[in-house]
Amino acid sequence: MVTPDGFPLYHEVFAGNTHDATAFPTIVETMERRFGTARRVWVLDRGIASQANLQFLKERKQSFLVGTPRSQLTAFEAELCTKDWQAIRPAVEVQTVQRDGQTYVLARSKQRRLKERAIRRRSRRAGTRLACGPQEARDAGLERTPQERRQGDGAGRSIARALAGPGAPGSKFASVEVSRDEGGVATRVTVHYDRAKLRAALGRDGAYLLLSDRTDWTAEQLWATYMQLTRAEEAFRAMKSNLLLRPLWHQLSGRVQAHVFVCVLAYALWKALDHLLHRTALMTHIRKPDPRRLHASPKNRPMSPAAALRLLHDVPIGDILLTTVEGRTLRLRRIARPNGEQAELLEALKLTLPERLCADRDVADPSNLGLPIERTPPKM
């Protein structure tokens, strides 16, 4: 449970071995027993947003905001071609459509479109490489990889799975035909594309559809609320990357609860840092454009928590070992002075780095520290 701004208020761990969509009614009833039947907005991803669960929320007079299956975009192709788009972020545009007393939010992202186009391009390139004969592939610079050459007769099955398998980028508009010789050995793989369907799919790249029963919210409010799911995943990834934690197969419920607690704690710290950065209006300075985009010019963008953590990650911490005249070795753990960008960030956040992390202490065996040692000769 989070506030409208995304700050966590409460979390609970439910029993496993149950599909999310099946467990959802139990989750709703548990929250109502604990906190009453106030009208909340349940933000659900596609795996939980089944028609049965949406009807369950309507019967209990609860609001919802869900991501719809991609196939529903075909019913909004006319709206995708209009100019009634509102830019809410530098690379994100949205518009609302009212149908059947519900609000549909059409959104399209430039970064998402580039990603989906790259996936389609890679899929088609793989199909061309596997479909060509050996000499044709070499002439076109598409020679098969060693793994594809080892597959032999399985190349047809491989390209069929890549282009026309369930959920593949080309499953809606590609068909695969394998030609064989008299001995049944595959000699050529031919990929046929439905150009009309492919052109329509390219027009939908980068777009996605949200659904809500709230008709009093703006498109930006609905989009920002749904993006909280992505922000939580980013916080969990940051915690696992910076702390070098990895997903574990816990066997005891107490360990599961402890693991989730650390994840929620990381999310709370992430949201606090995001709030501070938004208040300071700090920008990430982009000095070099993408080398693949020769005509692009670098543009600064608002600093994200991930960018701030990367910047502060370079502040070194070191141990200084001092040998006294009595033969004792003192360990002084100190924090280095931040550079210009780091100092600017800390000043904007109103944070001050301490000079030391712990009290100075004696070291019995300095060789066991495993750290670079800077020795200072004793004073005479």
Amino acid at 262: V
Using CA atoms, how far apart are residues 73 and 88, in angstroms rounded to an integer? 21
Listed in sequence order, the residues at least 6 apart from 333 whose beta carbon sits closer than 8 Å to its beta carbon are 317, 318, 319, 320, 356, 357, 358
| Crossing angle (nearest 10°) for helices 340-349 and 253-280 | 100
pLDDT score, position 66: 93
Domain boundaries, the chain: 112-201, 227-300, 314-376
pLDDT score, position 137: 47
pLDDT score, position 33: 92
- pLDDT tens sequence for the chain (380 residues): 998 888 999 999 888 788 888 999 999 999 999 999 888 899 998 888 889 999 999 999 999 999 988 888 888 888 888 888 989 887 899 999 998 889 999 999 988 888 888 877 776 666 565 555 555 545 444 445 555 554 444 554 555 555 544 445 555 677 777 777 787 766 676 777 788 887 877 888 889 999 999 988 999 999 999 998 888 877 777 666 655 556 667 778 888 888 888 888 888 988 899 999 988 888 887 776 667 766 766 778 888 888 898 898 888 888 888 888 888 888 888 888 899 889 999 999 998 888 887 777 777 655 545 444 444 444 44
Burial class from Cβ neighbours inside 10 Å (0-12, 13-18, 19+) for residue 219 reads buried
pLDDT score, position 69: 87
Roughly how many angstroms between the first and final C-alpha of the chain, as a whole number? 64
pLDDT score, position 120: 77
